[in-house]
A and B are shown apart, each in its own frame.
Chain A
Amino acid sequence: MSLNSVSILDGNMFVVSDRRGDIDATPTDTQGLFLDDTRFLSRWILTINGMRPNTLSVDEQAYFKVQFFEALTTGTVYVDSHLSVTRRRAVANGFKEEIEITNHDKEPIQLDIKLEAAADFADLFEVKDKLEKKGECYSKLTNGTLTLGYQREGFVRETRITPSPKGETRKDGLGFQVKLQPRSSWSVVIEVQALARLGEPEGTPGVSLSQKEVDEWVALSPRLVGSWEPLHQIYRRSLVDLAALRFRTGIVPGALPAAGLPWFMAVFGRDSLLTSFQAMPYAPELAASTLRALALFQGRVEDPFRDEEPGKILHEIRLGEMTAFEERPHSPYFGSADSTMLFLIVLEEYVRWTGDLAMARELEPQARAAIAWIDRYGDRDGDGYVEYERRNKETGLDNQCWKDSWDSIAFADGTLAPTPRATCELQGYIYDAKMRTARLARDV
């Protein structure tokens, strides 16, 4: 992602814009409003009298809200504008943006304000791989609301854009004709809803998250006592960053940690488990949610397309169009040789930190299934080591361990190691997982 981009997020919904607040997605600049691995807005550009305001400063107030301070300038040496623009944006259930324009001059001014809007509904994989869409885009106007939509069979996604006060709504955006008196301001609030049809939107755009909720979550963590103030700041910032990674599935209680913005705001096996493990002293509830979500989707059948096997813990779930039409195997994809052992390790670590033996009893069937997977499927040749080799040769992962880039496991001369591959950390995880699970088995 570009250093000049500004990102705000709430779970797997996020907005990536430039420092003006504009969204102008290109194959090389992955801006947009994203939800469930789909880009719901690919163009969002503000112009005033045909000009784009220039940024004076950006105030990233919290991970879910940001303010852009701008001016309509013509000069290049210094800012000589009498017109200032403030854009306040908060993400949640879509996003809400307030645009406030102030005339600092002694004379009234006529403004032609336009906000261009478009949505390409690209799957994140399409954005990464520059693939073409297979469905149809549409747009419609209803009572001042602009709806941008996409349909491919039963896969329907929509973006609804509603300004208040209403202006001139067109299929390519919004327009406002404003005569602004001297030393006065005009503002508009625009709600942008992303509808993924997995359920109705859960609330009004931009208002579900609050600093209070984040503060309360941070306050639940252990209190740091020390005399070095920077350490306090680092500690708090780390907790807030962790809060930003929280991700709700809607099918298990609580939130689990996603793997990162923007490509990895999804349920992952390895990443969600390792983050939960490392955050255990500070936010053990993340581990509880992660374990329950991964247990729910634990492998049940042999499915080569998804690299699924009974007892295996998933690698990744994606919710975009390519997953929906099985052009990618992430529904879920199980191409991870270490997640199953990490699941057992995190379960024991969670019980050790919290004393919550009920969790161990609740997940005992899944833990036993995981152990069975290690011995039956993980250790393919019965030599006591776990090795991996993808069964999905088209879209499966070559490497299913910590270093999962396709060319990451190589000899010193650069030659790729043949599959199946038994990397060293997998064997350590097995030993740790079995030792820990044996202890749990005695306790439950």
Chain B
Amino acid sequence: MENQEQEQSITDRRWEADSPALAGVSGRMRLAVGTKAVGVLVIDDGHLTLTDDERPVDVTISCATRADLVKMLRGEINLVVAALRGVVRQRGDRGFGAKVLLGLRAGSPFVHTPFDGKDA
């Protein structure tokens, strides 16, 4: 389990959506930009909730920039390429993190989500 200091949220509201590509996958993922936590993605058998709270998580995904994080949530980032180039780093259960990121790549429900209007 990983914990991290909470900073600016990725979203000012709670987003919920379904992702068939993440059916069978459940857990909690802290989202961070650099060292700053910006939200939590809760996955419950393919049902995704983007929120923020202080509860323990299975993995922390840290992106180099906010734009990278938004791309990741929208499934626009190849996990292996991003990890090799230092764009995405994982701490915690990397297997769970990989399942989520690969699932988002296959079909993200956040493709058109306007994250604070600040997304790339």
Contact = CB atoms under 8 A, between A and B. Distances in A.
Query: Are these two chains actual partners, yes or no?
Result: yes
Interface of A: 153-156, 197-199, 250-253, 296-297, 300-301, 310, 317, 319, 321, 323-326, 331-332, 365
Given A250-B94, A300-B103, A323-B81, 11 more contacts: A154-B64, A154-B85, A155-B85, A156-B86, A197-B86, A251-B98, A296-B95, A310-B106, A323-B80, A323-B84, A365-B23
Interface centre among B84, B98, B102 (most CB of A within 10 A): B84
A331 B64 contact: no
B80 A198 contact: no
A331 B86 contact: no
A331 B87 contact: no
B80 A331 contact: yes
Interface residues of B, number: 23
Nearest to A331: B80
Main secondary structure of the interface of B (DSSP, over half): helix
A102 B106 CA distance: 62
9 contacts: A154-B87, A156-B86, A197-B86, A251-B94, A310-B106, A321-B84, A324-B85, A331-B80, A331-B81
Contacts of B90: 199
Interface of B: 21, 23-24, 64, 78, 80-81, 83-87, 90, 94-95, 97-99, 102-103, 105-107
Contacts of B21: 300
Contacts of A326: 81
A297 B24 CA distance: 15
A154 B85 CA distance: 5
Given A154-B86, A155-B86, A296-B98, A301 B105 contact: yes
A313 to B, nearest CB: 14
Contacts, number: 53
Contacts of B86: 154-156, 197
B102 A331 contact: no
A332 B84 contact: no
Contact of B95 (A156, A198, A251): A251
A154 B64 CA distance: 9
A35 B103 CA distance: 28
A300 B106 contact: yes
A153 B81 CA distance: 13
Interface centre among B21, B78, B90, B103 (most CB of A within 10 A): B78
Contacts of B106: 300-301, 310
B76 to A, nearest CB: 12
A218 to B, nearest CB: 27
Nearest to B21: A300
A301 B75 CA distance: 11
A250 B11 CA distance: 31
B94 A155 contact: no
A228 to B, nearest CB: 44
A321 B84 CA distance: 8
Contacts of B105: 300-301
A252 B99 CA distance: 11
Contacts of A153: 85
Nearest to B98: A251
Nearest to B84: A324
Nearest to A317: B80
Contacts of A156: 86
A296 B81 contact: no
A317 B80 CA distance: 9
A235 B78 CA distance: 42
Nearest to A156: B86
A331 B80 CA distance: 5
A324 B87 CA distance: 11
Interface centre among A153, A301, A321, A332 (most CB of B within 10 A): A301
A251 B79 CA distance: 12
Contact of A198 (B23, B24, B83): B83
Contacts of A250: 94
A297 B78 CA distance: 11
A300 to B, nearest CB: 3
B54 to A, nearest CB: 25
B39 to A, nearest CB: 22
Nearest to A305: B78
A355 B55 CA distance: 39
B41 to A, nearest CB: 18
B83 to A, nearest CB: 6
A296 B99 contact: yes
Contact of B78 (A155, A251, A252, A331): A331
Contact of B80 (A154, A310, A319): A319
Contacts of A323: 80-81, 84
A297 B94 contact: no
Contacts of A251: 94-95, 97-98
Contacts of B83: 198
A75 to B, nearest CB: 51
A332 B103 CA distance: 15
Nearest to A196: B84
Contacts of A296: 95, 98-99, 102
